[in-house]
Amino acid sequence: MSAIQPPAAWVKVHPAVVRLTHWINALAIFVMVTSGWRIYNASPLFDFKFPRDLTLGGWLGGSLQWHFAAMWLLAVNGLVYLLYGFISGRFRSRFLPITLRGILGDVGDALRGKLAHDDLTVYNMAQRAAYVAIILAIVVLVASGLAIWKPVQLQWLAAIMGGFEGARLVHFLAMCAVVLIVAVHVVMVILVPRTFPSMITGNIRSR
C-alpha cells in the first residue's frame, strides 16, 4: 500500500508588484531591444546589422519613436520595482547572500543537468546572480541611454562612460548582457516549466 500523499503546499513566491512589473518590463525590454536594433542598423558600431525582420519601427524615425516612448515604460516600471525591492526587503531576503563558490557550484550542476529544484521558493545561487546581474545591466542600459540621448545636458554622465562614443559602446554591451541573460532565463523556464505560471498567479507548489 502506498503512503498517503499530504496535500500539496501552495506557497506565495511572487507578490503582485513583482508579477506586474515583471511583465511590463518584459514588454518594455522587447520593444526597446527590437527598436534599438533598427536604430543600431542606421549606423552600425560593428561590421554587422540586425536582420530587418527582427526589428520594430519600419524605419529609423519609427524605431526612434518606439524607443523614446518605451523608455518611459522601462524607466518608470523599473523605478517602481527597485523601490519596492529595497523598501520591502525583498532584494535582501531573496537575493542575499551571494557567494562566488555558490554560483560556480550551481552553474556546474546546471551544466551537468543536475541542478536541484526541490524547493522553488528559494532562489539558488545561480538564479540570485542572474537576477542581480540583469537588474544591474538594465540600470547601465538606462544610464548609457540617457548619456546618448543627452550628451550635452548630461555630459557628466557621458563623461563617466568616455563621452558620447563610449556611451554608445556601453549601451550596446549592456544590451548584449540583457539579451543573453533573458535568453538563459527563458531556457531555464522551459526546462522547469512549473515556474512559469507562478509569475502569473504568484503561487507555486513548494515540492
Partner 1 sequence: MKRRAMGHRLDHQSPKEIALIERRLFLRQTLSLGALALLSGCNLTEEEGVQSVLSKMSRWNDGVQAWLFDPKRLAQEYPASAITDPFPFNAYYGEDEVREVDAGSYSLELSGLIRERKPWTLPELYALPQTSQTTRHICVEGWSAIGKWSGVRFSTFLERIGADTGAKYVGFKCADDYYTSIDMASALHPQTLLAFRFADQILPPKYGFPMKLRIPTKLGFKNPKHIKAIFVTNMYPGGYWEDQGYNWFSGS
Positions touching partner 1 (CB under 8 A) are 30, 34, 39-40, 42-43, 45, 53-54, 56-58, 60-62, 64-66, 68-69, 72, 150-153, 155, 163-165, 168, 186, 190-191, 193, 196
Instruction: Choose between 21 and 34: whose C-beta lies nearer to partner 1.
Output: 34
Residues 6+ apart with CB under 8 A from 146: 154, 157
> In the complex, what is the shortest distance from the CB of residue 30 to partner 1, in angstroms, rounded to a whole number?
7
Contacts of 85 (CB under 8 A, 6+ apart): 91
Reading the block at residue 196, the C-alpha cell is 512559469
Which residues, in sequence order, are bridge partners of residue 12? 203
Q: Which three three-digit cell numbers place residue 46?
A: 560593428
Q: Which is nearer to partner 1, 9 or 186 (CB)?
A: 186
Distance CA 187, CA 141 (A): 23
Q: How far is CA 28 from the centre of its chain?
A: 11
In the complex, least distance from residue 141 CB atom to partner 1, rounded to whole angstroms:
16
Closest contact distance (angstroms) between CB of 201 and partner 1 is 16
**Closer residue to partner 1 (CB): 42 or 176:** 42
- Closer CB to partner 1, 129 or 175, in the complex: 175
Q: Which is nearer to partner 1, 12 or 207 (CB)?
A: 207
* Choice between 10 and 68, CB closer to partner 1: 68
How many angstroms separate the CA atoms of 31 and 35, rounded? 6
The answer to whether residues 41 and 49 touch, using CB atoms and an 8 Å cutoff, is yes
Cβ atoms of residues 160 and 139 within 8 Å: no
The answer to whether the Cα torsion of 52, 53, 58, 63 is positive or negative is negative
Residues 6+ apart with CB under 8 A from 112: none
